[in-house]
Amino acid sequence: MALIEVETTSATSEASQSAVSWSAILAGAAAAMAVTLVMALLGSGLGLSVVSPWSGSGASATTFAVSTVIWLVVMQWVASAFGGYITGRLRTKWTGLHTDEVFFRDTAHGFLAWCVATILVAALLSSAIGAVVSQGVQTTTSLVSGAAQGAAQGATQSSTSGAADPTGYFVDWMFRPTAGATAAPAPQGDSAAVRSEVTRILIQDTAAGEFPADDKAYLAQTIASRTGIPQADAEKRVNDVLAQIEALKVKAKEAADTARKAALTMSLLTVVSLLVGAFIAAVAAAYAGRLRDDDEVVEFRR
């Protein structure tokens, strides 16, 4: 009588419990955010302690910027390590899984904790930065409107236009009387109109990036007639003022280029810091999860 072997296979039932321990992830994210807040406040205090309002005192701008970037990197790494470790220690114990699968889940939990913390911190910073930017836009609009109004009014309101019009100082300097010079008599009531015209010429030529010879000659003639100085001295004043304006433009461009490079460097370092922080969070969660499982095995053997 032949025996028939029947091979029975038992289907592996899928676990009803999710592999993601959201409670541990949220706990790790909360820990990372708290550490970030504490270190941010500490860094702000340390930064303010090295800044001095007196010239030549305290840390230089370069030192302050470099130290700020280093502190941001350290803050991201420490907070990620704390968050990942808390997540790994508090996650639900998985049974009947291969070691590689446990390692993957631990790293995934640490990475998810980092993601949650990063998104929440970015949301908080975005709301704060948005408020600051909105206020800055309103302030800038007010300043630009005030400058345009001051340029249109000219010298009729010297106290107001002097603060709002950036060319006011140069106009005052060009029409400054020289000791011993006798100014030619000028019609009464046209001083504001002349100064306003000179201001418009300076603004227009500065915006265009060139100063036509006709404008230079007219400015020199106007200054000579109003101050009584020789034509050559008036032309020298005009050339000196134009040179100063050009120097200010060059400095402004250099400052803008320096700010652009600093912002680019800051962005790149921030991205690198975040990526390393994600790696640290994953590794810390895997390390903490292994410690948790090893402690339970030792306790069980006892």
**pLDDT tens-digit readout, 30-73:** 999 999 888 888 877 766 555 555 555 555 556 666 777 788 88
- Alpha-carbon gap, residue 38 to 43, rounded angstroms: 9
- Do 42 and 138 sit in the same domain of this protein? yes
- Do 177 and 277 sit in the same domain of this protein? no
Q: Does 93 reside within a domain?
A: yes
Of 293, 266, 277, the C-alpha closest to 117 is: 277
Interval 182-238: pLDDT, tens:
555 454 445 778 778 888 888 887 777 778 888 888 888 888 887 778 888 888 888
- Do 235 and 176 sit in the same domain of this protein? yes
User: Residue 7's pLDDT is what?
Assistant: 43
- Alpha-carbon gap, residue 248 to 202, rounded angstroms: 13
Length of the chain: 302
Largest CA distance in the chain: 140
Q: Does 258 reside within a domain?
A: no
- Do 90 and 204 sit in the same domain of this protein? no
- Do 27 and 133 sit in the same domain of this protein? yes
Number of domains in the chain: 2
Q: Which residues are within 8 A (CB) of 73 and not within 5 positions of it... i.e. 6 or more apart?
A: 269, 273, 276
- Do 26 and 115 sit in the same domain of this protein? yes
**The domain containing residue 188 runs over which residues?**
167-252
Q: Do 269 and 251 touch, CB atoms closer than 8 A? A: no
Which of the 8 DSSP states describes residue 181? -
- Alpha-carbon gap, residue 59 to 298, rounded angstroms: 53
- Do 248 and 273 sit in the same domain of this protein? no
- Alpha-carbon gap, residue 187 to 217, rounded angstroms: 21
- Do 185 and 134 sit in the same domain of this protein? no
Tell me, yes or no, if the pTM score tops 0.85. Answer: no
- Do 139 and 276 sit in the same domain of this protein? yes
- Do 187 and 294 sit in the same domain of this protein? no
